[in-house]
Amino acid sequence: MQEDFDIAQYLTDGVERIVKDILRASLRDPRESLFMARFAKAVGEATKRRSANEEKGVHVPPFLIASITSSCNLHCAGCYSRANHATEDCAPQRQLTAEQWESIFAQAENLGISFILLAGGEPLLRYDVMEVAGKHSDILFPIFTNGTFLGESCCQLLDRCRNLIPIISIEGDRELTDARRGEGVYGKITANMEQLQKQGLLFGCSITVTTENLNDVLSDSFVNALSERGCKAMFFIEFVPVTEEAQHLAPGDAEREIIWAGIDRLRREYPEMVFVSFPGDEKSSGGCLAAGRGFFHINSHGGAEPCPFSPYSDINVAETSLKEALNSGLFTALRDNGYLLEDHAGGCVLYEKRMLVEKLI
């Protein structure tokens, strides 16, 4: 990493760009644009809180990923969460309560965290946590969902709480989506997208980018089809292999160049939509942003982990504060010893160095 790289400024600039993009995407809906204008002001206040913490020597990232349940109704091919045994058909009793998640959200707000990505398992199985999140209107909660539970009661909650934005997983066309997520899933989620559009609710889509669907998901035909259904944001997430058999699906350097160039083009040609790449160009961000540099992960039973792809933890937020978790021994070792800045073959630097991470614990 270059010595003059300013991680705090890099993240602040990134947050401001995302907020501006979402504001632009919501201009045609008065209720949505009014909420986003208020949220933009809240982001400014959160930035001040993070800056104040930075001056005290405490780096607070603007993003948190919260896996609020370990239960899921689908068995998607190559799912990293099931491969890591973080997701099961039925959730265990030890997962955090809605009250505990409410405490975490309140602490995050006080620290200056502006975005909490709700994940799982399938997060919409935790309607109680959704209701709690909706009360924290100064935080935007993108809900990374498989889209199969977007029924009437859920839409009513989304209409009432505009800070909850569903991000529906899709792999490309019907054939690609059903091949990974199960027969009939494509038809169900596209019907739910059309219902969201009919009710004037902002939503986005999440695409796991592999070597097999790369060209399809960056194509105008795919983006236009989603745009016509009302999609306003697209998250392109690089596939991280968790088995040797899936290694060939992970984008390499050549494929990443195609992804970055494709997203740059889409941002120019579809200004009414938001396009986000994860992990994105780690070189331009001074290395991996996990372990609290740019974000961190809380699993369903409270373990603070570097990221969902690196499910290792030495501290639990059910027993300590979010601020203390940010400076856990594991997170500090990963940040201070340069492990997040090293070159790697592809996918995820921490997954590639998982044996080292285990030794740190």
What are the backbone angles phi and psi of residue 103, rounded to the nearest 5°?
Answer: -65, -40
Taking 3-state DSSP, the helix, strand and coil percentages for the chain, each rounded to the nearest 5, stand at 45, 15, 40
In angstroms, the first-to-last Cα distance of the chain is: 25
Mapping DSSP to helix (H, G, I), strand (E, B) and coil, where does residue 276 land? strand
Residue-by-residue DSSP string for 33-68 = HHHHHHHHHHHHHHHHHHHHHHHTT----SEEEEE-
- Lowest average pLDDT, out of 221-225, 233-237, 251-255, 321-325, goes to 251-255
Residue 243 binned pLDDT confidence (cut-offs 50, 70, 90) = confident
Distance in angstroms (rounded) separating the CA atoms of residues 331 and 345: 22
As given in the structure block, the two tokens for residue 248 are 């060939």
The per-residue pLDDT for range 273-322, each reduced to its tens digit, is 999 888 765 666 677 888 898 999 999 999 999 988 888 899 999 999 99
Please state, rounded to an integer, the average pLDDT across all residues of the chain.
Answer: 89
Assign residue 182 a region: left if phi > 0, alpha if psi is -120 to 50, beta otherwise?
Answer: left
- The domain ranges of the chain are 7-360
- The dotted CATH code for 7-360 is 3.20.20.70
What is the DSSP-derived secondary structure letter of residue 247? G
